[in-house]
Amino acid sequence: MALVTEEQVKQALARVMDPELKRSLVELGMVRNIQIKNTRVKFTLALTVPACPLKDQIVAEARAAVLGLDGVEGVEVDLTEMTAEEKQRIGLGGPGQPGVAERFNHIRHVVAVMSGKGGVGKSLVTALLAVVLRQDHKEVGVLDADITGPSIPKLFGLEEKPEGIPLGLLPVLSKSGIKVMSINLLLPSEDEAVIWRGPLISSVIKQFWGDVLWGNLDWLVVDLPPGTSDAALTVMQSLPLSGVVLVSSPQELAEMVVRKATRMAQKMEVPLLGLVENMSYFVCPDSGRKYEIFGPSHGEDMGRRLGVPFLGKIPLDPSISRLCDEGNIELVPTEAFAPIARRLEETASEPRRSPVQPR
């Protein structure tokens, strides 16, 4: 039996169309490194974005096309990402240029929510901020930049996959109309691990900004991962931030790492819009007494020491945890959090910065 040739493999893949761009994989330059060994074929597909929602469909159709060739019994497909120059060649932007979708987005305020360490409720603050702003009839989006530990879809009870269109990705709508984009919405299952190095994580965050069709938003709230690593640096360098909201808890350890986050924002010349202290106290349902379970509150003093406006305290409330676990954060009573959001609106009253190159 004659071995299949590289040209035959290319001809088979030339019949596979990219479902968004309506052009063949070969014409788009997506097919790379074809290797043939006996009855097995291996090749690489270069995707326009690593988090492409139609990735599985493209791979399946490409594999089926090659398996249809006489003499082929096995096909292995590796994935990589197109370079910026290659994307520019096929009309998807290039070095120093925005993504296609970004040209159609009009976002007044971009606010990043940041903590120095995990476990202080940063994602909760992000989601509650979005909920209150939406209750105030604002157009709101949430960009989940915590690529390796995304929790925003779970809080909102979202499982729907983002729709891909030629301009980019459409964010998923929550029950109240908040636009959400998260890597967890693009994975085969919500517990799939994202084991990526820093450069790929940074690339996805940029694509969530430039390749997602956010449309007209009053507020885009960005949920950063804990700490001061690549993801936070990418957001501060690449997104036109109005500023950063810091989240802490009463423990002194939390204060120490918040200081590190503060220093990072200051070095990157990003405005500090305010500090929120989570888990400040617990109200006993039987007596109505307040208990400072994690120690005395340091939020106001910390804000003064850091020169950051103190936005307020959030109590430790088991009902909030229950509603978040159920994906019903939009049903959380917001009386305690609403004043925090109002103060933030005051501190971020100016229009957002114009897009800038890395500071």
Tokens 């114009």 appear where? 354
Q: What is the pLDDT of residues 281-318, one digit of tens each?
A: 888 888 878 888 888 888 888 888 888 999 998 888 88
Topology agreement, domain 6-89 and domain 102-347: no
Q: Which of 1-10, 45-54, 350-359 has the lowest mean pLDDT?
A: 350-359
The confidence score (pLDDT) of residue 61 equals 94
- For the segment 147-190, what is each residue's pLDDT rounded down to a tens digit? 888 899 999 999 999 988 777 889 999 999 999 999 999 887 67
Q: What pLDDT score was predicted for residue 217?
A: 94
pLDDT per residue over 137-151, tens digit each? 999 999 999 888 889
Domain boundaries, the chain: 6-89, 102-347
Average model confidence (pLDDT) for the chain? Answer: 85
| 43 band by pLDDT with thresholds 50, 70 and 90 | very high
In which band, very low, low, confident or very high, does the pLDDT at 89 lie, cut at 50, 70 and 90? confident
pTM above 0.75, yes or no: no
Three-state DSSP string of the chain: CCCCCHHHHHHHHCCCECCCCCCECCCCCCEEEEEEECCEEEEEEEECCCCCCCHHHHHHHHHHHHHCCCCCCEEEEEEEECCHHHHHHCCCCCCCCCCCHHHHCEEEEEEEEECCCCCCCHHHHHHHHHHHHHHCCCCEEEEECCCCCCCHHHHHCCCCCCEEECCEEECEECCCCCEEECHHHCCCCCCCCCCCCHHHHHHHHHHHHHCECCCEEEEEEEECCCCCCHHHHHHHHHCCCCEEEEEECCCHHHHHHHHHHHHHHHHCCCCEEEEEECCCCEECCCCCCEECCCCCCCHHHHHHHHCCCEEEECCCCHHHHHHHHCCCHHHCCCCCCHHHHHHHHHHCCCCCCCCCCCC
CATH fold label, 102-347: Rossmann fold (3.40.50)
Q: Cβ(121)–Cβ(245) under 8 Å?
A: no
Which of these CATH numbers, 3.30.300.130, 1.10.287.130, 1.10.3720.10, 3.40.50.300, describes 6-89? 3.30.300.130
